[in-house]
Every structure is written in C-alpha cells, then in structure tokens.
Amino acid sequence: MKFDWNLEAERDLWRAICAPKSWHTSEGTTHPRSLYWFLNVAWGAKFFLRSHPEQPQWLYDPIHEPYAVWLQTHLLAWKKHALSGKPGRYHIASVLPRGYGKTVSATKAGSLWSHLDEPDMTTLICSATADLSRDILEAVASVVSGNDPDSWFVWLYGDWKKGARTWKPREALVSGYRKAGNISESTYDISATDIGMTGYHHRQHWWDDPLIANKIREGRDAYLRSAHTAVNASYNALLTNGLMALTLTRYLDDDIAGRHFREEGISTWTGMPCPHMALFDKVEFGAGIWHVFFYQTEDELTGEPTHPILWTKQAIKEAKSRDPEDFSCQQQNNPGSGERAPLVEAQLPYLYMTYEDFHWQRQIEWATIHIDTAFKTKENVRTGDDSAIVVWLKDATGTGILYLDTELCRSSNEWREEDFNKELIKVCLNLRRRGIFIRAITDEMEPGGKAGSYKNRLLGILRSAGFNMGEDQFIQLNRTSNKRARIRTAAGHWAEGYVRILLNKQNGEWHLNPTIRKLFSQILRIDVVSHEDLADAATDGFIRELWAPPTSNPGIPGGEGATPLRPWDTDLKDIGRGPTNEEVRQLDIERQELLDEGYLSPGHGWDEDYSLPREPV
C-alpha cells in the first residue's frame, strides 16, 4: 500500500523539535527533550547504534534522557545569563563512567546543539592531547557537512561546509552558517594540554577528559601541574560571560574536577548521590558555582549495575577483581574507594557519636595532641601543605577506643609559626578548662640537623602559658618514611571500630566542619590525595607509646579488639528484668552448694531478710 507521506512536514517537525527556541509556539519555546532528540536523530546516535549492533550499545534512555534534559537546562540557563549582559561564567560538569557516551552526548552533540540558534557562536574543544581534540572536531565536521550517513543534521539544517570560510577538520572550522564577518574566533577551534592556548576568546570551552591514566602513573605530580596549568589558561581565555564545560571521569582527588569542585564548590548535583561529600571542605555544598551531573557504573547502595546493557553484575565483579583502583576511578568516579581501601565512606556514620552522649557515658583519662607543622620548610609552604592539629581523647574503660574531638581539630595552609602556636595554646586551654590531662604532644622531627629547635621553643611557650610539660610529653617522630602505609594502618583501626567521632547535630543533621571533612577525604582516599597532613597527624594517636588494643575481648573471637556496650546490646537489655525460672533454679543449686560447703549459714540465705550490723558514723 502506498502512502502519501509529506517529507517536508516531517522535516519541519524534526527541525523544530531538535533545535533550541524553535518549538511550535510564538514565543519559540524549546521542546523539553530537544537536545535528547537532537542526539538521537539530528546527530544520529540512535541510527548509528542500530546499524552497528557490534558496537557497545551505550545509549540508554533511563540514563541519557535525564542527562540530556539536565544538559539542555543548563545550556539554556547559560544563554539566558549571557543575554542579560551581566559578567560571570557558567560552569557545568558531566562526570560519567568511561564508555557511557558522554563525549558524544555533551562535547560533540551538546556543543553543536548550542550553535543552532546562534550562528555566530564560537567554541573551543580541548582535551588531554591534540589528537583527541582533533578526533572530536573531525566528528563534528563530518556531521555538519553531511559525510556522516547516520546523521540527519544536513537534511534538517543544511550543509555548513558550503560557503565556509575555513574548513580544516583537524584544526579549525568557520562554517558557512556564520553570519557575522568581524569575529576573529572560529566557529570551532581546538586546543589541548600538550599544545597550549591560542590568543582567542571563545564563548564556550569544552574540556573533554583532560587527563590520561597512563601519564598519571608515569609522573603524577609534573603531569598534573601541566594539566591544571592548561585548564587555568583556558579559563582565563574564556569570555567573562562564557560557558566552562567539563566532560570527564575521575582519577584523583586533586584531578581537574576534584580541584575545581573543592576550590570553587558545588551549586547543584544531579544524577546519582555524591559518594565523596568529604571532598567539599572549603565551600559549603550548594553554595559553589559548578552544576554537576554524576553517574556510576554500580550503585554503591544496592550493588546493582546502573547500565545493565553495558555492565552485568558478573562483569563488575571481574573488573573489581582485576583492578579495583581503576574501577573505582573510571567506572565509579570515586577515586580511592576500591575494594582494597581499608576504610570506605559508608562506614563513617557508624563511628559518629554526639558530645552529649560521650560526656554522659564516658570518663576521660587523658588527651593527646598531634601536630603537623608545614611552616617549618619552604617546600611544604610552596606546595600548599597544611599545618594541622588533631586531638584524640582516651576514656578510662580500657576498650582501646579513641575519641576524635572534632571541635579542637584545626588546619590551615596560611598559618605562620606564631599563628599556629596561638591555635595550639587555645586547644590546650580548652582541655585544661574541661579538666582533661594532656598526656602528650607529637610532632615530626625538624629536617636539616635542626632536631629539637622547634620543640624547645614550643615547650617554652607552653610553660609560659602555664603548661609545665616535661620533655617526655613532647614526642618527635620520623614521618618521612612509609607515610601512606602508616595512614593505611591507622585507617584499618578506624574500620575495626577503635575510633569514635565526636560531633554535634544541627537540625537533626550531623555537623561536619571543614577541617573534619578534609581529614575524612585524606584518610578515605589514601592513594589519590595530594596532601595528607591531617591524616598523618591523626595517625600518631595509634603509636605504641600512646595506644594499644585490649589484650582480650570476650565479645570477639581471637580477642583483637574491644566492643563497648551499646543501648541495643543484650547485656544492657538484661539489666532490670526479673530472673527466669531456669535462673532461679540455678541460684537455688548454687545456694545449696555454698550451704553444704559451710560458706553460708542457714540463717543468712539469700531469701532471708538479713543485713550487716550497722554502727553510727
């Protein structure tokens, strides 16, 4: 049967659906799934995957439809902001697992979609290497010139190669769609970490996977510095009301996303819950500038795959077994959280304890103060190391549990020696005011033959403040060797339950101050953080001179730790209840045995109203 299908009407319909500000209203309202359909139809992702069943079928509506809606929402919000004439760059970040099609969806299709309603838009594509940037640009050039057989772009919006002033798919494009003739920047241009920035100022910069895992392994510090320098240079070249977009996976806490998220903060977080809240110690979550879409391969709460077409439970299990650290980065976007991590973030809430409960239930034996003094060396100051103060409290029950006094923990990378000393005096005064004995202060030995110089100065300052500490109370340690191994061992003690974290609640929620968030980040991600100052200081609480686990523990086979009584434990539930019949029978048997052996007289049994003679005081 022959149908008289109106192809022009179909083209008009799809042209309107797939472009911003062109849906069928007089106001030019954008279709709510415009970018989603642009990715599927105009770019041709749906048609490509259908015609190439041998390729991984990454396009998955439960993920990519909400992702495209999120991306469209923020691209339109940026455009609206730019039209207001107000300065201020707009920041978005797509943090998705490797293989989830984030480059096609965002850097390629998303950036091109933003050109449709603005012929004079300018875009810079950036990546870890020039070749990767060129690959992205070549894909865009293929779509807009009609060379991609799966794309409807040219059928809907015309051939942008026709009339182009510059058409170098491996360098730059000035499309035939452009209207203005006085714009210096290309429609599309490229840059990369390894080739540096041009002198132009584009309206949007898209950084797509600015790091390569192998290069991090070869020389992490130098490579990271060059990558951060390149991204910062790009940021300075962006127009003051431009769009800064990151499309990437995570590798380290101080990778591109990690540093910018920490320093500039998060505005909104969409997709899956953030698994590394401890990272955000500088800017309160929700008060920053970055809008983030985040996804993981495995749901850390349920253990289920998020994309069952790409990943099964068995595939995830095999990937974790093969390289858990790599899986935690490239698939989970949660660096340092691999299967071999001694402590994971989900364990921390079980260690929380309110100050109120602590003071009610525990008797404090002493406090130990552990310091890290970055100001001693210019190298530590230059690299941004913190000077840190960590305070542990030890109760008198012998359980082996240390209590982290979070209100007294401090850190800063801006303190000079006199600033640090003032903070330390405040901590000591707080403990004295609470009647807590300071058992010891620990610090790292001074380098370069100056051992003991700072110790003597600090002891003099403490004595002048009324703290007559002996030489044996100031313990100097060599922290330069096996630092991460020591932190890993200490993290194991956290996981074993030898730590309680004292916190206050605000509106029913646990309050974590920035210093504690930073400490959590360092001890949870031992192998990926750039600074370990707080974690390093906290590790001293477990040195042999100050701490040892209990020698026996009836509650745990093997006797390697102690379990404190908790409100839900059977031992406490037994208090206050009447004896069972069996227990009464056992008491009668024991009483008769004592009578038979002469330890009790018949008149002084447990069922008699008997008390010892009393004498007046």
Helix (H, G, I), strand (E, B) or coil at 443: strand
The reported pLDDT for the residue numbered 558 is 37
Single-letter amino acid code for the residue at 428: C
Residue 582 has pLDDT above 80, yes or no: no
H or E segment at 244? strand 243-248
The separation between CA 543 and the C-alpha centre of its own chain, rounded to angstroms, equals 28
Please state the φ and ψ torsions of residue 504, each to the nearest 5 degrees. -105, 160
The reported pLDDT for the residue numbered 454 is 81
Domains of the chain: 7-295 (3.40.50), 345-542 (3.30.420.320)
Write down the mean pLDDT value for the chain.
84
The C-alpha atoms of residue 71 and residue 107 are separated, in whole angstroms, by: 11
| Secondary structure (DSSP) of 141-209 | HHHHTT--TT--HHHHH--SSTT-SEEETTTEEE-TT---S---S-SEEEEETTTB--S---SEEEEE-
Residue appearing with tokens 């037994």: 574
Please state the φ and ψ torsions of residue 73, each to the nearest 5 degrees. -55, -45
Edge-first strand order for the sheet with 172-174 is 166-168, 172-174, 188-192, 123-127, 204-208, 243-248, 90-95, 290-294, 266-271
Please state the φ and ψ torsions of residue 172, each to the nearest 5 degrees. -165, 155
For residue range 101-140, what is the model confidence (pLDDT) as tens digits? 999 999 999 999 999 999 999 999 999 999 999 999 999 9
Q: What is the largest CA-CA distance in the chain?
A: 118
The reported pLDDT for the residue numbered 381 is 54
Rounded-to-10 torsion of CA 571, 573, 578, 580: -60
Q: Which of 36-50, 85-99, 183-197 has the lowest mean pLDDT?
A: 183-197
Higher-scoring residue by pLDDT: 492, 68: 68
For residue range 558-574, what is the model confidence (pLDDT) as tens digits? 333 444 444 434 444 44
**What's the pTM value of the predicted model, to 2 decimals?**
0.68
Centre a 10 Å sphere on the Cβ of residue 29 and count the other Cβ atoms it contains. Answer: 13
**87: which 2 tokens?**
């300065």
Q: Exposure of 366 by Cβ count < 10 A (0-12 exposed, 13-18 middle, 19+ buried)?
A: middle
β 387-395/364-372 pair status: antiparallel
The C-alpha atoms of residue 328 and residue 3 are separated, in whole angstroms, by: 54
Percent of the chain surpassing pLDDT 90: 49
**512: which 2 tokens?**
């974590």
The C-alpha atoms of residue 8 and residue 68 are separated, in whole angstroms, by: 27
Single-letter amino acid code for the residue at 317: K
The reported pLDDT for the residue numbered 580 is 59
Helices (H), 190-312: 213-218, 220-237, 256-264
The C-alpha atoms of residue 172 and residue 141 are separated, in whole angstroms, by: 10
Closest to 533 in 3D by CA, of 459, 495, 479: 479
Please report which confidence band the pLDDT of residue 604 belongs to, taking 50, 70 and 90 as the band edges. Answer: very low
CA distances from 364 to 377, 485, 530, 567, 607 (A): 36, 30, 35, 20, 40
Beta bridge partners of 91: 244, 290
For residue range 371-394, what is the model confidence (pLDDT) as tens digits? 988 776 666 555 668 899 999 999
